A and B are shown apart, each in its own frame.
With several copies, the nearest count.
Chain A
Amino acid sequence: MSDIDLSVNIGKFKLRNPIMLASGTVGYGNEISEFSDLNKLGAIVTKSLSLKPRKGNPPQRIVETPSGMLNAIGLANVGVDIFLKEKIPFLKKYDVPLVCNIAASTVEEYVECTRILDSEETIKAFEINVSCPNVKDGGLQFGNDIKAVGLVISKVRAVTNKPLIIKLSPNVSYISEFAQVVKNEGGDAVSAINTLVGTAFNIITKKPKLYNVNGGLSGPAIKPVALAKVLEISRKVDIPIIGIGGIMNWKDVIEFMIAGASAIQIGTLNFIDPTAPERMIKELEDYCVSNQLNKISDLTASYLI
Chain B
Amino acid sequence: MLIVNSPVVETIQIHENIFIQKILSPEIAHNSNPGQFLNIRVSETANPLLRRPFSICDVEGDNIFIMFNVMGEGTKILACKQPGSSVDILGPLGNGFNLDDDFEIAVIVAGGLGSAPFPYLTRKIGKSKKIISFVGGRSKNDLITYSMMNFLTSTDDGSEGFKGNVVKLLEENRDKLDKEKIKIFGCGPNAMLKSLKDFSIKYDYNCEISTESAMACGFGICQGCPIESTQNPDKYLLVCKDGPVFNVKDVNL
Contacts and interface: CB of A to CB of B under 8 A. Distances in A.
Given A60-B214, A219-B49, A220-B49, A47 B227 contact: no
Interface stretch (A27-35, A103-111, A154-162): A27-35
Contacts of B47: 66-67
Interface string B167-183: 00000000000000000
Contacts, number: 96
B27 to A, nearest CB: 14
Given A34-B1, A275-B3, A76 B219 contact: no
A31 B3 contact: no
Interface in A66-123: 66-69, 71, 73, 76
B76 interface: no
Given A55-B235, A270-B217, A273-B3, A69 B49 contact: yes
Interface string A212-231: 00000001110000000000
Contact of A53 (B3, B214, B221, B234): B234
A62 interface: yes
A68 B3 CA distance: 22
B189 to A, nearest CB: 15
A182 to B, nearest CB: 27
Given A55-B235, A220-B49, A273-B3, A62 B221 contact: no
B37 to A, nearest CB: 15
B119 to A, nearest CB: 28
Interface in B200-245: 213-228, 234-236, 241
Interface string A49-71: 00001011111111110111101
A274 B90 CA distance: 10
B52 to A, nearest CB: 10
B50 A71 contact: no
Contact of A76 (B1, B227, B236): B236
B51 interface: yes
B234 A55 contact: yes
A56 B238 CA distance: 12
B83 interface: no
Residue of A68, A268, A272 ringed by the most chain B CB atoms within 10 A: A272
B219 to A, nearest CB: 5
B80 interface: no
B214 A61 contact: yes
Contact of B221 (A31, A68, A76, A219): A31
Nearest to B1: A34
A76 to B, nearest CB: 5
Nearest to B226: A59
Interface in A35-52: 35, 47
Nearest to B52: A64
A64 B222 CA distance: 13
Interface in A149-198: none
A220 B225 CA distance: 22
B224 A68 contact: no
A53 B235 contact: yes
Contacts of B50: 64, 69, 271-272
B217 to A, nearest CB: 4
A18 B219 CA distance: 25
A130 interface: no
Given A63-B214, A64-B48, A220-B49, A58 B226 contact: yes
Given A24-B223, A27-B221, 6 more contacts: A55-B236, A58-B228, A62-B222, A63-B214, A66-B47, A248-B46
Interface of B: 1, 3, 41, 46-51, 213-228, 234-236, 241
18 contacts: A24-B222, A25-B222, A34-B1, A35-B1, A59-B213, A61-B214, A68-B49, A73-B222, A73-B223, A73-B224, A219-B49, A220-B49, A221-B46, A268-B216, A270-B217, A271-B50, A271-B218, A272-B49
